[in-house]
Chains A and B, each alone.
Chain A
């Protein structure tokens, strides 16, 4: 009963927030799935923030805080609905799939269903066999932080002690605080909660990938993309490990997908609402609140959109005149969470382990052999990523592009160019972190590079199929409720 109440409050809060900014969504199956999968991530983010803020302000009744957050969101939603009469979501023509023969579409439906069943089976068996996670980081970092937040009461700051080596007290707290919130409802630190959170976000990422591409490019592109993600063994396996890489990958994907939906609507209509951009800002903030790599991603997104849109500003047809207003919507969306991250970094957490001494960082950055080691490791990982049988997914997509995608080549909208650049900047950031790492370089690469590739993988698959598939035509330019 307590679990059901917690799950309801969590999901309903997420759904209310998503509905608040994408009000009036038309009843299309893909749009419904899009909102539902986003709601799962938003719900966990809200649960995490509510718990953490309650701890900061020494509020002991966490359940009342969660309920109050939901009531406030519903009230805001009702007020916003009364104030606005038009919907934000533009529907696209279903005709984009017609170019594919029916037999191929049936094969794709069967293959995607098979892959989904296989992935569900493997993930559930893995979670049952290893109910307390798949590696050290689960109990040495993420679940340990959750225990401190949940069990320590007014001494919750003890979890940030630098006396606990390797527990990374500077890591953000989205996953631990959300878990601690659920534990508050249950009354004890049930190990099933971290496992359920991992599984939920793994398959929510698949649903989000499918639904967003289905809305923008049709079911065939959506099935090909979700098939690719479901068939990545490392993605499914990591979803059960109780690490924060899959939640981070979810928020990366949610940000990129929301920006794509917003940009394509903007191109089709000539104007767009700020709702999806504000939601993208919030998911970007949640990415930063999940892992430090998320902060790098936020910087990458902001920088990339400024660079691409300002350059595209010369071609007035390509850029929405209200670009600056919409950039503000994104920044306002991510600002509250980013401010919380800054507060944590400056007031609670000890300094991180990577950026300790600028002089030695610069020294390491200038050592050519480190550059060579990191380049070789990145190349090796590119050709072996994901635990695929035979051909890795990265190589497979590259081959698919040369066979299928090149014929579809066309000018990219500025928004999509910005998303590609943002992922590239994040990737370059990862590369630079290895150049300056104070740890043994081989050890650091061995135990983290796979997971860094994984964080970017769902977003890469999304952008790949978004760009190689022809754009759907807008069904109507103004849908009224």
Chain B
């Protein structure tokens, strides 16, 4: 009997912790929409690309962030985004106000704003 009551009390204490750590109702006004924001950021670029195929990918040197790449891949799916500039079409994913100095073999096709660029690699046909 005592063992059962101890188990019940510990479970209820843990449930209290679960409730206390749950997001507050006020937090719901600003939900975490990280992939939705990323989808919107890449929407214009996606509209001009073919529906399938493989794209290259570059970020600003020194700012490599795996999450940025995965969000770009998720937004551009079903296109395959290869983490390499060795493709005819390359996505530039930059977060600075102005695009950084690009590698000489990458030519800007279009700047979609918000750091999203479509580039062509002139060394790859």
| B73 cross-chain contacts in A, Cβ below 8 A | 140, 144, 164, 167
| A254 close to chain B: CB less than 8 A | no
State which of B17-25, B95-103, B106-114, B115-123 sits at the interface with chain A. Answer: B17-25
Q: Which among A108, A147, A389, A404 has the greatest number of chain B C-beta atoms within 10 A?
A: A389
CA distance A114 to B8 in the complex (A): 11
A386 to chain B, nearest CB (A): 8
**Interface set of A (CB-CB < 8 Å, partner B):** 101, 104, 107-108, 111, 114-115, 118-119, 121-122, 125-126, 128-133, 136, 139-140, 143-144, 147-148, 151-153, 155-156, 158-159, 161, 163-167, 191, 224, 227-228, 230-233, 236, 386-391, 393, 396, 399-400, 403-404
Q: Is B11 in contact with A130, judged by CB distance below 8 angstroms?
A: no
| A108 cross-chain contacts in B, Cβ below 8 A | 4, 8
B4 CB contact (under 8 Å) in A104, A151, A231? A104
In the complex with contacts A152-B78, A233-B14, A121-B22 CB distance below 8 A: yes
A72 to chain B, nearest CB (A): 30
In the complex with contacts A140-B74, A164-B73, A403-B2, A128-B66 CB distance below 8 A: no
A117 to chain B, nearest CB (A): 9
Q: Is B14 in contact with A136, judged by CB distance below 8 angstroms?
A: no
| A119 cross-chain contacts in B, Cβ below 8 A | 15, 18
B86 to chain A, nearest CB (A): 11
Known: A227-B11, A389-B17, A393-B14. 4 other contacts (CB 8 A): A122-B21, A126-B23, A231-B12, A233-B17
B100 to chain A, nearest CB (A): 23
Q: Is B66 in contact with A152, judged by CB distance below 8 angstroms?
A: no
A155 to chain B, nearest CB (A): 4
**Interface set of B (CB-CB < 8 Å, partner A):** 1-8, 10-19, 21-25, 27-28, 31-36, 51-52, 54, 66-67, 70-71, 73-74, 77-78, 80-83
Q: Is A118 in contact with B19, judged by CB distance below 8 angstroms?
A: yes
| A122 cross-chain contacts in B, Cβ below 8 A | 18-19, 21-22
In the complex with contacts A139-B71, A152-B52, A231-B11, A132-B19 CB distance below 8 A: no
| B71 cross-chain contacts in A, Cβ below 8 A | 139
Q: Is A107 in contact with B8, judged by CB distance below 8 angstroms?
A: yes
CA distance A153 to B66 in the complex (A): 27
In the complex with contacts A144-B73, A404-B3, A115-B80 CB distance below 8 A: no
> Whose C-beta in chain B lies nearest to the C-beta of A155?
B52
CA distance A125 to B20 in the complex (A): 11
Q: Is B11 in contact with A236, judged by CB distance below 8 angstroms?
A: no
B10 CB contact (under 8 Å) in A143, A156, A161, A396? A396
CA distance A156 to B1 in the complex (A): 57
CA distance A143 to B68 in the complex (A): 16
Q: Is A115 in contact with B74, judged by CB distance below 8 angstroms?
A: no
Q: Is A389 in contact with B78, judged by CB distance below 8 angstroms?
A: no
CA distance A121 to B31 in the complex (A): 16
CA distance A164 to B79 in the complex (A): 10
A409 to chain B, nearest CB (A): 15
CA distance A130 to B22 in the complex (A): 11
A350 to chain B, nearest CB (A): 13
What are 7 A-B residue pairs whose CB atoms fall within 8 Å in the complex?
Answer: A132-B32, A132-B33, A143-B35, A147-B77, A167-B73, A228-B7, A390-B13
B5 to chain A, nearest CB (A): 8
Q: Is B3 in contact with A231, judged by CB distance below 8 angstroms?
A: no
Q: Is A115 in contact with B12, judged by CB distance below 8 angstroms?
A: yes
Q: Is B31 in contact with A115, judged by CB distance below 8 angstroms?
A: no
CA distance A139 to B74 in the complex (A): 6
> Whose C-beta in chain A lies nearest to the C-beta of B84?
A163
Q: Is A129 in contact with B28, judged by CB distance below 8 angstroms?
A: yes
Q: Is B18 in contact with A396, judged by CB distance below 8 angstroms?
A: no
A123 to chain B, nearest CB (A): 8
| B54 cross-chain contacts in A, Cβ below 8 A | 161, 163
> Whose C-beta in chain A lies nearest to the C-beta of B23?
A129
Q: Is A404 in contact with B25, judged by CB distance below 8 angstroms?
A: no
A69 to chain B, nearest CB (A): 25
Q: Is A388 in contact with B4, judged by CB distance below 8 angstroms?
A: no
Top 3 closest pairs, chain A to chain B, by CB = A403-B3, A152-B78, A231-B11
A175 to chain B, nearest CB (A): 16
